[in-house]
């Protein structure tokens, strides 16, 4: 079974992306795709089968620096940029969103895709998904995880360094417009690129937005949305800063991971950024 799949995968024949986008789910392990799909109205959901994903052009890497995987793990799968090229509507829909079963959500903007070449992992150490261990890491990885050939941070803003975006438990991929997704949390008004507000925005966009939502965008893992976070930043900035650095010191049961490495300037920037959000922002959807 495995050999047959591997052989088929290593000889990618003609693929017909349109035919792979199934209307109905056929198995729990299908990958849901949505957003701007080629030839389909916005908001349509389709399903890609694991077996079909193996027919797409595969890439193989030995990974040594992914905190989810032991050193020297061989990953094989489809580049997210390949998925966007085959199933996305246009180069405009080049922001890729990976959504996990727990509401965690990773946004891969164009810059990130170009710098890091993330891969939708289909095989680990030559094993197809059905053979991944069901306990430990293997069990939580499914149905899909994302990794990189290697990761070298591509930017640094204050003490936030470009972080590897390596979600597991990915169930859905969307092809979106950067202006739409990031537009939801872009600060209103004109701010110089090096202002604390813009620096806070860049950090929040990669960090907080994975778990906290603004309207339809962003992760839903935390049950606290952007406007509620902003209200805390405005009413009690000390508490806000403490939550970011060490959530458990504010609420012992907090599940949110802390950022003990964020220095004061970084917390200032995040506070300044969130303080630009008013209650009114929640009502009026920003311009795309
Ligand atoms: C990995 C997911 C995750 C990330 C990333 C994350 N949070 Fe949270 N956050 C949570 C969860 C979950 C909660 C709900 C409370 C809890 O369990 O910690 C929360 C709660 C909060 C709260 C309310 C806490 C309270 O006690 O009222 C604030 C404020 C907050 N987060 C700010 C931020 C900011 C700012 C960032 C980015 C710098 C961020 N979070 C990044 C998961 C996350």
For residue range 151-189, what is the model confidence (pLDDT) as tens digits? Answer: 999 999 999 999 999 999 999 999 999 999 999 999 988
Query: Ligand 1: which of 168, 233, 256 to mutate, judged by most atoms within 8 Å of the beta carbon?
Result: 256
- The closest-lying atom of ligand 1 relative to the alpha carbon of residue 210 is 5
Domains of the chain: 2-176 (no CATH), 182-283 (2.60.40.420)
Q: How many angstroms is it from 144 CA to the middle of ligand 1? A: 25
User: Is there a contact between 108 and 165 (Cβ–Cβ < 8 Å)?
Assistant: yes
pLDDT band at 278 (very low <50, low <70, confident <90, very high): confident
Q: How many angstroms is it from 213 CA to the middle of ligand 1? A: 11
Q: What is the mean pLDDT of residues 71-83?
A: 97
User: Is there a contact between 220 and 103 (Cβ–Cβ < 8 Å)?
Assistant: yes
Beta-carbon contacts of residue 83 (< 8 Å; ≥ 6 apart) = 33, 56, 96, 120, 173, 175
Look at the pTM and tell me if it is higher than 0.85. Answer: yes
Confidence (pLDDT) at 32:
98
Beta-carbon contacts of residue 192 (< 8 Å; ≥ 6 apart) = 198
CB atoms within 10 A of CB 50: 19
Confidence (pLDDT) at 14:
67
Q: How many angstroms is it from 270 CA to the middle of ligand 1? A: 13
Does any ligand 1 atom lie closer than 6 A to the CB of residue 221? yes
Confidence (pLDDT) at 288:
43
Q: How many angstroms is it from 225 CA to the middle of ligand 1? A: 9
Confidence (pLDDT) at 6:
41
Q: What is the mean pLDDT of residues 267-287?
A: 77
Query: Ligand 1: which of 212, 231, 242 to mutate, judged by most atoms within 8 Å of the beta carbon?
Result: 212
Confidence (pLDDT) at 282:
53
The dihedral built from the CA positions of residue 200, 205, 210 and 215, taken in this order, carries a sign that is: positive
Does any ligand 1 atom lie closer than 6 A to the CB of residue 224? yes
Q: Nearest 10 degrees: CA dihedral of 42, 45, 46, 47?
A: 150
User: Is there a contact between 173 and 97 (Cβ–Cβ < 8 Å)?
Assistant: yes
Does any ligand 1 atom lie closer than 6 A to the CB of residue 233? no
Q: What is the mean pLDDT of residues 221-240?
A: 96
Radius of gyration of the chain (CA): 20
Q: How many angstroms is it from 222 CA to the middle of ligand 1? A: 6
Q: How many angstroms is it from 75 CA to the middle of ligand 1? A: 31
Distance CA 208, CA 37 (A): 27
Residues 91-146 have pLDDT tens digits of 777 899 999 999 999 999 999 999 999 999 999 999 999 999 887 777 889 899 99
Does any ligand 1 atom lie closer than 6 A to the CB of residue 267? no
Q: Which residue's C-alpha comes closest to atom 2 of ligand 1?
A: 211
CA dist 47 → 35, 130, 172, 266 (Å): 12, 19, 9, 41
Distance CA 269, CA 127 (A): 45
Q: How many angstroms is it from 227 CA to the middle of ligand 1? A: 13
**85 Rama class: left (phi>0) / alpha (psi -120 to 50) / beta:** alpha
Confidence (pLDDT) at 283:
52
Confidence (pLDDT) at 92:
74
Confidence (pLDDT) at 280:
57
Q: What is the mean pLDDT of residues 61-86?
A: 96
CB atoms within 10 A of CB 106: 20
pLDDT band at 18 (very low <50, low <70, confident <90, very high): confident
Question: Which tokens is 161 given?
Answer: 């360094």
Confidence (pLDDT) at 284:
53
Q: How many angstroms is it from 259 CA to the middle of ligand 1? A: 11
């Amino acid at each position: 079974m495995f050999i047959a799949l591997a052989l088929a995968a290593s000889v990618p024949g003609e693929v017909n992306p349109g035919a792979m986008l199934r209307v109905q789910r056929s198995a729990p392990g299908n990958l849901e795709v949505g957003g701007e799909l080629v030839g389909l109205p916005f908001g349509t959901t389709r399903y890609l089968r694991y077996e079909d994903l193996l027919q797409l052009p595969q890439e193989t890497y030995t990974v040594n620096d992914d905190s989810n995987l032991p050193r020297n793990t061989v990953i094989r799968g489809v580049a997210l940029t390949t998925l966007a090229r085959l199933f996305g509507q246009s180069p405009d829909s080049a922001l890729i969103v990976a959504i996990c079963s727990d509401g965690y959500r990773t946004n891969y903007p164009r810059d990130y895709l170009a710098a890091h070449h993330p891969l939708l992992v289909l095989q680990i150490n030559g094993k197809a998904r059905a053979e991944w261990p069901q306990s430990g890491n293997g069990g939580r990885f499914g149905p899909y995880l994302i990794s990189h050939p290697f990761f070298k941070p591509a930017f640094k803003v204050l003490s936030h360094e470009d972080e590897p975006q390596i979600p597991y438990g990915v169930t859905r991929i969307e092809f979106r417009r950067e202006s739409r997704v990031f537009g939801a949390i872009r600060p209103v008004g004109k701010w110089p690129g090096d202002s604390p507000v813009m620096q806070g925005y860049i950090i929040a966009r990669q960090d907080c937005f994975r778990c906290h939502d603004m309207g339809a965008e962003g992760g839903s893992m935390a049950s606290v949305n952007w406007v509620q976070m902003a209200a805390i930043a405005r009413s009690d900035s000390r508490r806000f800063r403490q939550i970011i650095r060490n959530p458990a010191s504010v609420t012992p049961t907090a599940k949110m991971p802390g950022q003990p490495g964020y220095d004061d300037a970084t917390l200032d920037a995040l506070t300044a950024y969130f303080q630009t959000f008013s209650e009114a922002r929640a009502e009026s959807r920003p311009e795309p």
